[in-house]
C-alpha cells in the first residue's frame, strides 16, 4: 500500500493561503497583524499559519481573544486554552472581556456579541497600531453564510457573502480554503482546539446547514463549497460596480445633510428604476447605522413605499430610523437614541495584559500587572485617565460596574471618613444622566477608582508595594483631568 506523506497536503494548504494573501493583497511584509483567536479550529489554524509566515514576511503579530462569559466555565476554558497556545508560540496576547446584555427590540445576543467584538478589536488595533485584523473564516463559513442569507430571502448584497477584506481593516486569509483542509492541517501539526458547544438559534440554523444541507448539496456537486465561494467573488464584483452607480445617484439626489441624516428630492427619487430606489435607500439606512448593518428587504420596502406614497412620518424598524415628508422633500434621520447593550459588572482579568470595554461611556480599560520598578514612571506622572494601584491590596475579583446606591469611597488626598459616591458625584458636578453610565472599578474590599474622577486612598501604591496594577482608560471619560 502506498504511504502518503503528510507534507504535500500541508504544503498545498499553505500555498492556497499564501496565494489568497498575495492575490487579494491582504497584507504586506513588515506589517503588524492583530489575529482574532477564539480557540476554535479555524482561528487556531490561522494563528499557526501566520506565525509560520511571520519571520519571512517580517510580520509583527499580536493575538486577541474575546471572552464574553456567555457559556460560563466553558468560556474561561477557551480563554485558558488560547493563553496556553500563545504562550507556547511566544505570541503576545490581549484578552478582552466584554459583557453584552440583550434588550428588547435589539438584535440577537450573538449579533450583539459579534458587533461588540469587532468594535473592541478595531479600537485595540488602533491602540497597538496594528495594520490589519485577521479572522479565521473559511470557504465553508462563506458557503454557510450565503445559504443562510438565501434562506432569509436576501438579494445580491447578502448572496455576495463575506469579502476577503472588509472596511480595509478586517482580513480573511482562510476564505479560500475549506474546513476539511483546516482540520487536516491541524491534525498534521498536532494542534488541539476547542469546540463551541453553543446552541443559540443562529448557531443552530448554521449547524443544520452544515450537517444536513451541505452533505446533500455535496452529493449533488462535490465541489459545492468552492463553487459557492467563487460565485460570491463574482457577485461581489457586481456589487462593487452597483454600489458605485448607487453612490453617484445618491449624491445627485441628496441636497443637504439634515440632523445627521439626509434630505432627498422625492420627485427625482420616483423617476429611478425600483432596483436603484431600493439600493439608494439601503445605502442611506446603512450609513445612518453606527454598526453599518445592512437593513433587511422588508425594511427597505417599507421605506420605499413611504417615500413614494406616504404622508405621515414613519419610524422604520431599523435602528429607530425616522422618515419625514415636507412637500416633495423627505428626510431620513435617526429617531430617539437607543443606548447600546449596557454592560453590567464585568470581571477584569489581571493575570495577563487585558482590555475591558465599557459601553456606557464608550470607553476601554487596559489593565497590566507591573513590577514596582516598571510602575515607577507611571507613578511619577499620574494622569486622569490612568491610575496605578497596589495589586495585592486590590485583590481579585476586580470588577468594572456601574454605580450602585449605597456605594462609599475614600478619595485619595481628601481628609476625613469615607464619602457616599452620590455626594462625590454631586461635588464634581457629574450630571445625573451620566452617573448611571459612569464606570466604577471595584475590588472585594471596596471601590478602587472612579475613572477620570478620583482614586481610593486605600488601594494606592505604598513604599512596601511590590506588584502594581496599571489601569488606563481610553476614550470617553473626563477630559478635564482628575480632581
Ligand X SMILES: Nc1ncnc2c1ncn2[C@@H]1O[C@H](COP(=O)(O)OP(=O)(O)OP(=O)(O)O)[C@@H](O)[C@H]1O
42 has binding-site annotation? yes
Site for ligand X in 113-132 (CB under 6 A): none
Instruction: Please select the residue that binds ligand X; options are 115, 119, 141, 239, rule is CB under 6 A.
Output: 141
CB of 165: closest distance to ligand X in angstroms?
Answer: 15
Q: Which three cell numbers stand for residue 154?
A: 436576501
> Is the CB of 53 or the CB of 135 nearer to ligand X?
135
349 is a contact residue toward ligand X (CB under 6 A): no
Query: How many other C-beta atoms can be found within 10 angstroms of the C-beta atom of residue 243?
Result: 13
| Closest residue to ligand X: CB criterion | 40
40 has binding-site annotation? yes
Instruction: Please select the residue that binds ligand X; options are 53, 66, 264, 388, rule is CB under 6 A.
Output: 66
65 is a contact residue toward ligand X (CB under 6 A): yes
Q: Near ligand X by CB under 6 A, which window of 30-38, 51-59, 318-326, 470-478?
A: 30-38
Print the binding letters for residues 409-448 with ligand X: x by CB under 6 A, - otherwise. ----------------------------------------
Query: How many other C-beta atoms can be found within 10 angstroms of the C-beta atom of residue 3?
Result: 4
477 is a contact residue toward ligand X (CB under 6 A): no
Of the candidates 346, 296, 344, 343, the residue with the CA atom closest to the CA atom of residue 321: 296
Binding residues for ligand X, total number by CB under 6 A: 15
Task: Name the maximum alpha-carbon separation found in the chain.
Answer: 85
CB of 50: closest distance to ligand X in angstroms?
Answer: 11
| Residue position matching grid coordinates 477564539 | 38
Q: Near ligand X by CB under 6 A, which window of 135-143, 148-156, 398-406, 409-417?
A: 135-143
Instruction: Please select the residue that binds ligand X; options are 136, 261, 341, 477, rule is CB under 6 A.
Output: 136
Q: Which three cell numbers stand for residue 214?
A: 451541505
142 is a contact residue toward ligand X (CB under 6 A): no
Q: Which three cell numbers stand for residue 240?
A: 462593487
135 is a contact residue toward ligand X (CB under 6 A): yes
> Is the CB of 102 or the CB of 419 nearer to ligand X?
102
> Is the CB of 197 or the CB of 219 nearer to ligand X?
197
Print the binding letters for residues 183-212 with ligand X: x by CB under 6 A, - otherwise. -------------x----------------
In 126-240, which ranges are E strands?
132-134, 165-166, 170-171
> Is the CB of 47 or the CB of 443 nearer to ligand X?
47
∠ Cα 456 66 479 (to 5°): 40
Print the binding letters for residues 39-58 with ligand X: x by CB under 6 A, - otherwise. -xxxx---------------
Q: Residues annotated as binding site?
A: 38-43
By CB under 6 A, name the binding residues for ligand X: 36-38, 40-43, 64-66, 135-137, 141, 196
Q: Residues annotated as binding site for ATP?
A: 38-43
Amino acid at each position: 500500500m502506498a504511504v502518503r506523506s503528510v507534507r504535500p497536503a500541508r504544503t498545498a494548504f499553505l500555498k492556497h493561503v499564501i496565494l489568497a494573501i498575495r492575490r487579494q493583497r491582504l497584507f504586506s511584509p513588515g506589517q503588524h497583524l492583530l489575529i482574532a483567536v477564539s480557540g476554535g479550529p479555524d482561528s487556531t489554524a490561522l494563528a499557526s499559519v501566520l506565525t509560520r509566515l511571520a519571520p519571512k514576511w517580517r510580520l509583527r503579530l499580536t493575538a486577541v481573544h474575546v471572552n464574553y462569559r456567555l457559556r460560563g466555565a466553558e468560556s474561561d476554558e477557551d480563554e485558558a486554552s488560547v493563553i496556553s497556545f500563545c504562550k507556547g508560540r511566544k505570541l503576545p496576547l490581549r484578552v478582552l472581556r466584554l459583557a453584552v446584555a440583550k434588550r428588547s427590540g435589539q438584535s440577537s445576543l450573538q449579533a450583539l456579541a459579534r458587533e461588540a467584538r469587532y468594535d473592541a478589536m478595531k479600537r485595540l488595533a488602533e491602540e497597538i497600531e496594528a495594520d490589519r485584523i485577521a479572522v479565521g473564516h473559511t470557504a465553508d463559513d462563506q458557503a454557510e453564510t450565503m445559504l443562510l442569507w438565501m434562506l432569509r430571502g436576501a438579494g445580491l448584497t447578502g448572496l455576495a457573502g463575506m469579502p476577503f477584506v472588509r472596511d480595509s481593516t478586517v482580513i480573511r486569509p482562510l476564505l479560500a480554503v475549506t474546513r476539511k483542509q483546516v482540520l487536516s492541517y491541524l491534525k498534521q501539526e498536532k494542534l488541539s482546539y476547542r469546540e463551541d458547544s453553543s446552541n443559540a438559534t443562529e448557531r443552530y440554523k448554521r449547524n443544520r446547514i452544515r450537517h444536513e444541507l451541505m452533505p446533500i448539496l455535496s452529493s449533488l456537486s462535490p465541489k459545492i463549497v468552492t463553487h459557492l465561494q467563487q460565485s460570491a467573488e463574482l457577485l461581489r464584483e457586481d456589487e462593487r460596480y452597483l454600489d458605485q452607480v448607487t453612490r453617484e445617484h445618491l449624491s445627485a439626489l441628496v441636497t443637504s445633510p439634515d440632523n445627521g441624516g439626509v434630505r432627498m428630492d422625492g420627485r427625482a427619487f420616483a423617476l429611478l428604476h425600483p432596483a436603484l430606489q431600493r439600493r439608494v435607500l439601503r445605502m442611506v439606512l446603512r450609513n445612518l447605522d453606527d454598526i453599518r448593518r445592512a437593513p433587511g428587504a422588508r425594511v427597505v420596502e417599507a421605506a420605499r413605499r413611504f417615500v413614494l406614497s406616504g404622508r405621515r412620518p414613519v419610524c422604520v424598524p431599523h435602528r429607530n430610523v425616522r422618515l419625514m415628508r415636507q412637500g416633495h422633500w423627505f428626510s431620513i434621520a435617526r429617531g430617539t437614541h437607543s443606548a447600546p447593550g449596557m454592560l453590567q459588572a464585568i470581571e477584569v482579568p489581571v493575570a495577563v495584559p487585558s482590555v475591558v470595554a465599557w459601553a456606557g461611556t464608550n470607553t476601554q480599560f487596559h489593565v497590566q500587572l507591573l513590577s514596582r520598578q516598571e510602575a515607577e514612571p507611571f507613578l511619577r506622572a499620574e494622569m486622569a485617565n490612568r491610575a496605578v494601584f497596589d495589586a495585592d491590596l486590590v485583590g481579585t475579583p476586580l470588577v468594572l460596574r456601574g454605580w450602585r446606591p449605597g456605594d462609599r469611597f475614600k478619595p485619595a488626598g481628601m481628609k476625613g471618613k469615607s464619602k457616599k459616591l452620590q455626594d462625590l458625584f454631586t461635588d464634581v458636578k457629574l450630571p445625573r444622566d451620566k452617573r448611571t453610565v459612569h464606570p466604577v472599578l471595584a475590588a472585594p474590599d471596596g471601590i478602587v477608582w472612579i475613572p477620570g474622577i478620583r482614586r481610593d486612598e486605600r488601594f494606592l501604591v505604598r513604599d512596601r508595594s511590590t506588584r502594581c496594577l496599571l489601569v488606563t482608560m481610553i476614550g470617553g471619560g473626563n477630559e478635564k483631568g482628575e480632581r
